[in-house]
Structure 1
Amino acid sequence: MAVGELAKAVNGAIGDFTGRPGTTSERTVFRWLSGKNRWPQERQRRGLEIVTGLPVIALGFVPRGKSKSVPALPEDPDMRRRQFFGAAAGTAAAAIPLAPPASARPSRVGTSDVIRLRDDVERLVALDAERGGHGLEQAALDGAAEALRLQKQSTTQRVRQRLFALASDFTATAAWSLIDAGQLDGAGRHLDRALTLAGLAQDSEMTMQVWNLRAMLARQSRDYPEAVASSQAAQATAIARRSPLHASLAHARTAVGLAHNGEARAALGCLGRAEDALAKADLAQPRSTWMSFYSPAELYSLTAIVRDVVGQPAQAEAASHRALAALPETYRRNRAHTTARLALAQLHQDDVEQACATSGQVFTIMAGTPLPGRMRQLLGDFQRDLIARAPSAHIAHDWMDRYRTEWSSS
C-alpha cells in the first residue's frame, strides 16, 4: 500500500543524505496522516521534501510553536489525509524497484529516479568485479545520458546535483571500461567529461574518482609523472582530506606512480601513509559504489606492485598472498590480476617453475570470460621477463605453447 511505500521512500531519501537509511515506520506515517504528529523529525521532514518535491508545510504540517505564523491545517481530518496522500502518493509509488519505461514515467523527477540510476551503477560495478570492466562502455554512457536527460526535468537543485554526480559516475565507469580493456585512446576524453560533470555536481568524491582513474590511465600509458600528479590531485580533494579510507587509496595510488617513476623511497613513504590512513578508517561505514573495491585486500595488491617495482619481490610475494587471502570470491577479475602479480614476484626471485604454475591459474580463474586487455598486458610482461630469466629457452617456449590457445581465445 501507499503508506508502506511512502515510508520506504522517505527512509531511502534519508539514507542518501546521511549515509544510513531512515527508520520511518508505517505507524509513523499513519500518525502523520491522522494529525497526531503534526511536525516530523528534521530528517523525516527533509526526506519528505525530497520524496514529494514539496515543502512540508505544503503537505499540511505545522512547526511546533508556529501555529499563528503559518496557515492552519484543514479542520476536516479526511481533507488533511487527502491533501497528504495527494502530494505523496505519486512519488511513494515510484519507490517500487521495477521502473517503467521512460515514456511511461511521470514528468516529475526526484529521488526515486536517483535511486534507480544508482542501482544501475551498482549493477555495472558488480559486472566489473566479476569479469572486468571491458565491454561496459556503452551501457555506462547510456546511463550518463539518462541522468543528464532527467536533470533537465528536475525541479530541485539537490536532485539536479545528484543526477550530475551520477552522470559523472557513469562516465567515469565508461572510461574505466576502456582502461581495463587496454583501449586507452578514448578513456581520457571520458575522464575530462566526468570531471566537468563532477564539478557541476559539486561532488568532491566524484572528482576524486576521476583523478584516481586518471592516475591509472597515465600509468598504463607509462606517463609516470602524470600518474603521480593525478594521484596527488586525488589527495587534495575534500573527500580525501576528511575520509581516511579515501586518503588511503590516494596515497597508495601515489605510491604506485612514484615506484614506476623510479622514486623508491618516496613510494615506500606513501605506502606507509596509506596503511596508517586505512587503519583509521571505519570499514563498516556505508560508502559510495565506486569505492566498494577498496579494502585491506586492495591495499595489499597495490603494495605488491610497489614492492615488486622497487626491487623487493619477496615482500611483493607476501603482499600478494595476503591480498588473495582477503579478496572476496566475487572479485574474480581482481583475484586473477593479483595472481598474475604474484607470478611476476615469484619470477623476479628466479623461482621460474613456480611462477609458471602460478601464472597458469589466471586462465583457470577467468575461465569462460575474455581476459581484459589490462590483464593481457600484464601476462605479456610476465612472458617477456620469463624469456629473459628462464635458465633454458624451452621453459619459456613450453609456457607460451601451453597457454597460447587460452590467451588467443580469451
Structure 2
Amino acid sequence: MTDNVHLAGRMSAAGLSRAELAKRLNTQIEWLTGRPGTLQVRHIRNWLGGNTRWPQERQRRALEAEFGVSAEELGFIRPARSSAHPDSAPEDPVDRRHFTAGAVSFAAATLLSVPDATARPRVGMSDVDALEQRFSELVAADNTTGGTITLETRALAFAHHALERINVGTASTRVKNRLYASAAAFTGTALWSAIDAREPERAERHFDRALRYARLAQDPVAELRLWSHQVLLSGQRLGGRSEALAAAEAGRSSAACRRDPLYRSLATARLAGAQAQVGEYTSALRSLDHARTSLRKADPAAQRPSWIGFYDEAELNGLTALVMEDTGRHAEAEAFLHMTLTRLRPDLLRNKAYYSATLALIQLRQGEIERACTTALTVLPEDAGDSLAGRTRTLLHTFHRELAAVAPNTRSAVEWTNRYT
C-alpha cells in the first residue's frame, strides 16, 4: 500500500523504480557530502508506505535535489517539535554509523545543526566562503561539460543550503546579503544549465527565483548575470526575440555596468546579439564597437565572481561571429570564429564545442563541404556514450540536416554520417 502518493507520483512521472531512486539518491548524497549514500530499496519502501515520515537531513537534501521540490512537496511531514528549528529533529537511525562527525565533506563543513531548542548557531563569512568555493567548482564543471541535469540539481541543492543558513542561524545583515547572493548565484547556474540543455520551462522557474534572491541580496552584479541569461532564454522561445531585446536592455542599464567596464562590455555584446535577431543590424554593429571599447578599459586584475571568468576577447569574438552570421556576413563570422577558437582558454571545453559546431555550420552554408565536415567531426565525443550540451547538440543536428540536403553523397558527408549516427 502506498501512503505517500506525492513521492509515488514523482517517481512514476520520472519512470524510477525503488532501486533506481535509491541509486540516484546515493549519488546525490555523495555530491552533497563527499561520502556515498547507503540507501536501499527498503528505505524507499518505508517512505512510500509512510513508515518513515521525515527522512534524515542528508536524505531530504538528496530528494530535494533529485526532484527539484521541497521535502514537504514530496509528501513528507515535518515533526511538530522541529517546526522552529527544522534540523533539530532526530534522524532516522538507519546507517547513522556511516555518517560520522569526522567526514571530510561539504556537509560537515557547512551544514549547520542546532544544538538545542533555545540556541541558534551563528552564521559568518566562513559559511559564505565555503558556499562560494562550491560555486566556483560548479562554474568549472559547467565550463567543461555544459548544462546537465546533474549540474542543475547540484546547483539547486546548494541554493537550498544557502537559504537554510539564513533560516536556521543568526547572521549580520552583510552576511545575510551574501547568503542571498549565493542562493542567486547557485540558482542562476541551474538557470544556465537548463538554458544550455534547452529546457526553457524549467529555466523560467529558475529565473524567477534567482532574480528574487538577487534583489534580496541587493546585488546588481547577480542581477546582470540573470538578465544576460534571460536574453538567451527568451531567444530560445518562438516569438521571444522582442523579450530578449528587453532583457538585454535591462542588463545594459544595470548599476553593475556603470561600475565596471567588463560587465558593461558583456551586457553590450548581449544587446548586440538581441538587436541582430530583431533586424536592427546597424545598432547591433554599433553595440559591438562599444563592447570592444569597454573591454579594453576593463581591469583584468579586478576582483569579480567566478562566473564572469569566461568573458574575454576570445568570447567577445565568438559573440561577434554570431552577430555577423545573423546579419548575413558569413565570411566575417567565420573569421571571428577562427580567432575565438585560437584564443579560447583550454578549460572552456563547452564553449569550444559550441563555437566549433557554429563554425562547421557557417562553413557548410558557404559551400565548404569538406572543411565543414572536418570541423564538425572535431565536436563529436570520442566515446559514443558521451553526450554534448543541448545547444551544441542542436547545432550539430541542424548541420546534419542541412548537409544531407546539399551534399549527402560526398566522401566527407558519408564519413560524417557514419560517425554522427
Change (3 A) 1:258 1:383: farther
CA distance in 1, matches of 2:174, 2:403: 55
| Matching residue of 2:298 | 281
Q: Does 1:189 align with 2:198?
A: no
| Matching residue of 1:199 | 215
Change (3 A) 1:325 1:291: same
Change (3 A) 1:366 1:252: farther
| Matching residue of 1:143 | 158
Change (3 A) 1:367 1:115: farther
TM-aligned CA deviation for residue 286 of structure 1? 2.0
The amino acid across from 1:123 in the alignment is E
The amino acid across from 1:308 in the alignment is E
| Matching residue of 2:362 | 345
Q: Which runs of 5+ in 1 are unaligned?
A: 1-95, 406-410
TM-aligned CA deviation for residue 396 of structure 1? 8.4
| Matching residue of 1:132 | 146
Higher mean C-alpha displacement, 375-384 vs 137-146: 375-384
Change (3 A) 1:404 1:344: closer
| Matching residue of 1:299 | 316
CA distance in 1, matches of 2:163, 2:212: 13
The amino acid across from 1:215 in the alignment is V
Mapping for residues 261-272 of structure 1, pairs under 5 Å: 261-272=278-289
Greater CA radius of gyration, 1 or 2?
1
CA distance in 2, matches of 1:198, 1:379: 35
CA distance in 2, matches of 1:310, 1:399: 31
* Matched-pair contact (CA < 8 Å) for 1:259–1:306: yes
* Matched-pair contact (CA < 8 Å) for 1:304–1:341: no
CA RMSD of superposed structures (Å): 2.2
TM-score (norm 2): 0.69
* Matched-pair contact (CA < 8 Å) for 2:370–2:412: no
Change (3 A) 1:141 1:179: same
| Matching residue of 1:53 | none
The amino acid across from 2:132 in the alignment is R
TM-aligned CA deviation for residue 97 of structure 1? 8.9
Change (3 A) 1:102 1:277: same
Moved over 4 A (4+): 96-99, 103-106, 364-368, 392-397
Which whole-Å deviations, capped at 9, do the CAs of 1:192-220 have from their partners, x for residues lacking one?
A: 11111111000000111110111010112
Which whole-Å deviations, capped at 9, do the CAs of 1:265-285 have from their partners, x for residues lacking one?
A: 221111111111111111222
The amino acid across from 1:137 in the alignment is E
Mapping for residues 222-301 of structure 1, pairs under 5 Å: 222=238, 223-301=240-318
* Matched-pair contact (CA < 8 Å) for 2:373–2:413: no
CA distance in 2, matches of 1:364, 1:279: 36
Equivalent of 1:217 in 222, 230, 233: 233
CA distance in 1, matches of 2:277, 2:346: 29
Equivalent of 2:109 in 78, 91, 100: 100
Which whole-Å deviations, capped at 9, do the CAs of 1:58-116 have from their partners, x for residues lacking one?
A: xxxxxxxxxxxxxxxxxxxxxxxxxxxxxxxxxxxxxx999536256881100000000
TM-aligned CA deviation for residue 179 of structure 1? 0.8
> How many equivalent pairs are there?
309
| Matching residue of 1:114 | 128
Change (3 A) 1:399 1:188: farther
Higher mean C-alpha displacement, 235-244 vs 263-272: 263-272
Change (3 A) 1:166 1:258: same
| Matching residue of 1:170 | 186
Change (3 A) 1:395 1:255: farther
TM-score (norm 1): 0.71
